[in-house]
Copies of this chain bind each other. A is one copy, B any other.
Amino acid sequence: MTTSPDSLSTPEQNFYGPCSRKIHIDGRLHPIRVAMREIELSKPYSFNGQTFTSLPLYDTSGPYSDPAAEIDPEKGLPCLRDEWHDARPGTEPSQKSPHRPMNGRTPLRGAEGSSVTQMHAARNGVVTPEMEYVAIRENQHLEEWMETSGSVRPPVTAEFVRDEVARGRAIIPANINHPELEPMIIGKNFRVKINANIGNSALGSSIDEEVEKAVWACRWGADTIMDLSTGSNIHQTREWILRNSPVPVGTVPIYQALEKVGGIAEELTWEIYRDTLIEQAEQGVDYFTIHAGVLQEYLPAATERMTGIVSRGGSIMAKWCKAHNRENFLYSRFDEICEILTAYDIAISIGDGLRPGSIADANDEAQFGELKTLGELTLRAWEQDVQVMIEGPGHVPMNLVAENMTKQQEYCHEAPFYTLGPLVTDIGAGYDHVNSAIGGTLLASLGCAMLCYVTPKEHLGLPNKDDVREGVIVHKLAAHAADLARHHPAAWLHDNIMSAARYSFAWDDQFNLSLDPARARKWREESSPEAGDKLNEERFCSMCGPDFCSMKKSREAAETRQK
* Residues in chain A within 8 A of chain B (CB atoms): 1-2, 200, 230, 255, 258, 263, 265, 299, 302-303, 306-312, 314-316, 318-319, 321-323, 357-360, 395, 397-399, 424-431, 433-435, 437-438, 441-442, 445, 456-462, 466, 470, 473-474, 477-478, 480-482, 484-487, 492, 494-496, 498-500, 502-503, 510-511, 513-516, 519-520, 523-524, 526-528, 541-545, 547-558, 560-561
* Complex contact A543–B458 (CB within 8 A): yes
* Complex contact B474–A357 (CB within 8 A): no
Instruction: Compute how far the CA of A311 lies from the CA of B551 in the bound complex, rounded to whole angstroms.
Output: 8
Instruction: Compute how far the CA of A398 lies from the CA of B550 in the bound complex, rounded to whole angstroms.
Output: 25
Which residues of the partner chain B approach A487 to less than 8 Å between Cβ atoms? Answer: 399
* Complex contact A495–B360 (CB within 8 A): yes
* Complex contact B462–A542 (CB within 8 A): yes
* Complex contact A460–B306 (CB within 8 A): no
Which residues of the partner chain B approach A542 to less than 8 Å between Cβ atoms? Answer: 461-462
Instruction: Compute how far the CA of A458 lies from the CA of B395 in the bound complex, rounded to whole angstroms.
Output: 29
A311 closest partner in B (C-beta)? B550
| Interchain CB contact (< 8 A) of A498 among B230, B426, B456 | B426
The 5 A-B residue pairs whose C-beta atoms are closest, nearest first, are: A461-B527, A1-B1, A358-B499, A308-B554, A315-B553
A399 closest partner in B (C-beta)? B485
Main secondary structure of the interface of A (DSSP, over half): helix
- 7 CB < 8 A contacts A-B: A309-B553, A358-B496, A431-B473, A434-B434, A434-B477, A457-B527, A460-B520
A395 closest partner in B (C-beta)? B499
* Complex contact A398–B523 (CB within 8 A): no
* Complex contact A502–B309 (CB within 8 A): no
* A59 shortest CB reach to chain B, Å: 15
* Complex contact B360–A547 (CB within 8 A): no
A440 closest partner in B (C-beta)? B438
Instruction: Compute how far the CA of A500 lies from the CA of B358 in the bound complex, rounded to whole angstroms.
Output: 9
* Complex contact B306–A550 (CB within 8 A): no
Which residues of the partner chain B approach A547 to less than 8 Å between Cβ atoms? Answer: 230, 258, 263
* Complex contact B543–A477 (CB within 8 A): no
Given contacts A360-B496, A520-B430, contact A312 B461 (CB under 8 A): no
* Complex contact B557–A499 (CB within 8 A): no
* A424 shortest CB reach to chain B, Å: 4
* Complex contact B481–A397 (CB within 8 A): yes
* Complex contact A500–B306 (CB within 8 A): yes
Instruction: Compute how far the CA of A541 lies from the CA of B201 in the bound complex, rounded to whole angstroms.
Output: 13
* Complex contact A553–B430 (CB within 8 A): no
* Complex contact A323–B427 (CB within 8 A): no
Instruction: Compute how far the CA of A304 lies from the CA of B513 in the bound complex, rounded to whole angstroms.
Output: 23
Instruction: Compute how far the CA of A467 lies from the CA of B556 in the bound complex, rounded to whole angstroms.
Output: 31
* A219 shortest CB reach to chain B, Å: 16
Given contacts A523-B461, A561-B322, contact A307 B470 (CB under 8 A): no
* Complex contact B560–A323 (CB within 8 A): yes
* A491 shortest CB reach to chain B, Å: 8
A550 closest partner in B (C-beta)? B315
Instruction: Compute how far the CA of A38 lies from the CA of B206 in the bound complex, rounded to whole angstroms.
Output: 48
* Complex contact A481–B424 (CB within 8 A): yes
* A205 shortest CB reach to chain B, Å: 15
* Complex contact B398–A485 (CB within 8 A): yes
* Complex contact B438–A551 (CB within 8 A): no
| Interchain CB contact (< 8 A) of A484 among B425, B437, B462, B473 | B425
* A338 shortest CB reach to chain B, Å: 26
Which residues of the partner chain B approach A456 to less than 8 Å between Cβ atoms? Answer: 1, 523
Instruction: Compute how far the CA of A316 lies from the CA of B550 in the bound complex, rounded to whole angstroms.
Output: 7
Instruction: Compute how far the CA of A448 lies from the CA of B391 in the bound complex, rounded to whole angstroms.
Output: 32
A445 closest partner in B (C-beta)? B398
Which residues of the partner chain B approach A308 to less than 8 Å between Cβ atoms? Answer: 503, 551, 554-555, 557-558
